[in-house]
Structure 1
Amino acid sequence: MSEELVPARDLAGHNRISTQALSSVAKAAAAQILAVPPTQVRVSWNDDDGFLALSISSPMGAPPLSAVSRDPDRLKQVGGSVLARATAAKASILTQVEHLSGSRLSRVDVRISGLLVREEGRVL
């Protein structure tokens, strides 16, 4: 089937994405990036001068300290320190949520509420 341009008059109207749908998208994106189950992620939305500001509170997946002390390169394998990963997560979450939802976000605030320690393999 070929794609044809649709006249603008045929596209008139509004598309709305519910807060619940946006929250589900944000939880899924944050969970993947922070290596935790989506049920562990809490999201809230605020108006930021007409744009959406996303606040996330979540634990972060991490290797056990004993594994890091035995193999310091393990920290690099999971993306660095908690601070470095949380900082990088902001940009990644913003990009994914905007891409998946089509919404424009002004910022993403991330609060790491704890660590979910995984013994073996990749952090969740």
Structure 2
Amino acid sequence: MTTAATTGPVIPGHVSIAPRVLQKVGGAVVAETLVVERRDVRVEARDDDGRLALSVETPLSIPALTADVVVPAGGVLGTVRSLQETVTTRVTEITGRAVSRVDVTVTGSRLEKTGPVR
């Protein structure tokens, strides 16, 4: 549990975050992490016994073959496992919701962009 969700005064009431917001946050984290366009990322958020389960569909960013290619440890599988860890950590930090699982489906590949991601 992050300190952001537990600091400050305790005020009676209930806070809920709409699934659409959780999906947008998850999509932004995925797009930023993989350096792909946000519009190419799809995230579905659902309740998993009080925790958050995310299903992610995304392309992977692939370096141009003319560049000095540095292959991440574990290749594509290593990239996906790292993405799962990053999404779990960042979504929990941002939303205060515990993430139970992140299922990732790779939908394709995109050449890496050198400019800012939209």
Q: Normalised by the shorter chain, which TM-score bucket?
A: 0.7 to 0.9
- Percentage identity across aligned positions? 31
Residue 43 of structure 1 aligns to a residue in which SS?
Answer: strand
More helix by share: 1
After superposition, the Cα gap between the structure-2 partners of 1:17 and 1:46, relative to the gap in structure 1 and judged at 3 Å, is closer
TM-score after normalising by structure 1: 0.76
Give TM-score scaled by structure 2 length: 0.80
Unaligned runs of 5+ in 2: 1-7
Count of matched residue pairs: 109
Taking only aligned residues, the RMSD between alpha carbons, in angstroms, comes to 2.2
Q: 1:61 maps to what in 2?
A: 61
Aligned equivalent of 1:75, options 70, 74, 85: 70
Give how far 1:117 is off: 1.3
Give 3-state SS (helix, strand or coil) of 1:75's partner. Answer: coil
How do residues 36-115 of structure 1 correspond to structure 2 at under 5 angstroms? 36-64=36-64, 66-67=65-66, 71=68, 74-76=69-71, 79-80=72-73, 81-115=75-109
Question: Who is 1:32 aligned against?
Answer: 32
Structure number with greater Rg is 1
